[in-house]
Structure 1
Amino acid sequence: MDPAVLREDMVDSLHHESKGCLEDEQVSLAMRAVEREPFVEDAPYADRTSERHGTRVLAPSTAARLLDALAPRPDERALVVGAGVGYTAAVIAEIVGATDTHAIDINRQLVYEARSNLSTAGYDEVLVDCRDGADGLAAYAPYDCILLEAGAVEPPRALLEQLAPDGRLVMPLGAGTQTLSVVSKDGEIERHGTVAFQPMLVDGESTHEIERNRTRREDQEFARKHAESRPGWEQDWIDWEDTRR
């Protein structure tokens, strides 16, 4: 069947009330325009996840939920954190323009993959760089919209700092239960239902590791919060000998 017809059917199904994951007309038009074949080898228009280089390739319905919440607009500047195979960056580039779309990933192999896929799809002007997602890409900030395609306990500070005054960060927010959240620069949160994403990686971690319940960054945060919550008799800074005098 003609791929263009398959794309139309795919997007129509995302609008249908049975899925109800796509309402934004700009995103709808972009998903109808962007070919998925350069990004997904097998059954590119099937609504299912796949895997590439150890990362999850989002199903069309999941990508649509993220992009619908992000609601990119022409002439905005966008950043995708967790570029993966590059599909969501391509859809955003179709709306805001390739030169105003930037993407980063901590996995160097995926960076090369995304660059190649985007070039094949006709979006070779999208900048894709290898960076720690929590640091963002300050050189091209501020961004009107940032899409974080990985879970985090709280919005990364650097990403909020790199937002334009009226910008928004869309991300899976939470530890046990994640919610798809739209976060403003001042930290206000708008929630759009539950999601399930892998946690954001830090430098040195691999998607192929057998056990990755929390990132090292989160371990440090948990340790800090635990230290601050210790009762008085456990605190190192109290000299109990002095208090007895």
Structure 2
Amino acid sequence: MKDTNKHQGLRNQLAKQLEEKGITDKNVLEAIKRIPRHLFLDSGFEDFAYQDKAFPIAAGQTISQPFTVAFQTQLLQVKKDDKILEIGTGSGYQTAVLVALGAKVYSVERQNELFKITSALLPKMGIRPKHLSFGDGYKGLPNYAPFDSIIVTAGAPIIPKPLMAQLKIGGRLVIPLGEGEQIMTMLIRKNETQFEKHEFGEFRFVPLLEDKN
């Protein structure tokens, strides 16, 4: 698990590129500079790890492109010690970025193969989310709710009601909504029953699968 000066240089270039594409949150850019994305990919992709592209990972899933990770993270406006629910741990890269920002991350992954790989990888890298779990992201983690914010890293046809219920008042839920192409959507919880909705253009994600068992 090598992380070299060359990798650091490539991360610095990537952060500069993301800034040029419109990422303004300095803390998010610093987190991108700190997290060794190449370690989340198969060694065959190592030379491409700092391109702003998505790549395949285990279980037919993908690691999101860095711009998408930075964009979703920026929308959350993460503060130190924020309690964040992440739906779709995936490779663990987004998890690592949130932890680097000082968040207490509770993450759910429904692909057992990925869950096992990522649960072993993150501690080896010294990245410690509060809780990783294998399960159905549609249900969230009611036992740990409420959350300061919720991030969904897979495309969903609808916003799962349990996730809305697990968000604190004043909290933000960021989710890519739609089939095929998704619209990045943010809900801000105003009170017990009201949510303010914002939309931020098209993105493409793997689908958020509901556990049918």
TM-score when normalising by structure 2: 0.87
CA distance in 2, matches of 1:40, 1:201: 22
Tell me the number of residue pairs that the alignment of Structure 1 and Structure 2 aligns: 200
Hey, what does 2:121 align to over in structure 1? 117
Contact 1:15 1:23 in 2 (8 A): yes
SS at match of 1:96: coil
CA-atom RMSD in angstroms: 1.7
* Contact 1:34 1:121 survives alignment (8 Å): no
Q: Deviations over 1:132-157 (max 9, x none)?
A: 01100112111111110112222111
Opposite residue 95 of structure 2, the aligned amino acid is A
1:192 counterpart residue number: 200
Which of 120, 137, 140 in structure 2 is aligned with 1:133?
137
Shift, 1:196, TM fit: 1.8
SS in 2 for 1:158: helix
Aligned-pair identity (%):
29
Structure 2 counterpart of 1:37: 38
Bigger Rg, which one: 1
2:149 pairs with one of 116, 123, 145: 145
CA–CA separation in structure 1 for the residues paired with 2:98 and 2:36: 13
C-alpha distance in 1, partners of 2:27/2:144? 24
* Paired residues of 1:34 and 1:91 also in contact (CA < 8 A): yes
Contact 1:26–1:73, Cα closer than 8 Å, also in 2: no
**TM superposition shift of 1:60:** 1.2
Residue among 170, 175, 181 paired with 2:174:
170
> Which of 55, 58, 77 is matched with 2:83 structurally?
77
> C-alpha separation between the residues in 2 aligned to 1:170 and 1:200?
13
Partner of 1:159 in structure 2? 163
Judged with a 3 Å threshold, the aligned counterparts in structure 2 of structure 1 residues 190 and 130 are, in CA distance, closer, same or farther, namely: same
Asked if the contact 1:144/1:167 (under 8 Å) is kept, the reply is yes
Q: Residue in 2 aligned with 1:52?
A: 57
Tell me which residue corresponds to 1:25: 26
Counterpart residue number, 1:180: 184
* SS of match in other structure, 1:6: helix
Consecutive unaligned residues of structure 2, counting only runs of 5 or more, are none
Q: 1:129 to 1:195 in 2, by over 3 A?
A: same
Output the amino acid matched with 1:52.
I
1:190 shift after superposition:
0.8
- Tell me whether 1:89 sits opposite 2:95 in the alignment: yes
Taking the aligned partners of 1:125 and 1:49, their CA distance within structure 2 comes to 23
Higher relative contact order (Cα pairs below 8 Å, separated by 6+ residues): 2
Native 8 Å contact 1:173 1:180 kept in 2: yes
What is the one-letter code of the residue matched to 2:177?
L
Provide the TM-score with structure 1 as the length reference. Answer: 0.76
Per-residue deviation at 1:105? 0.9
The 1-side partners of 2:17 and 2:186 are apart by 24
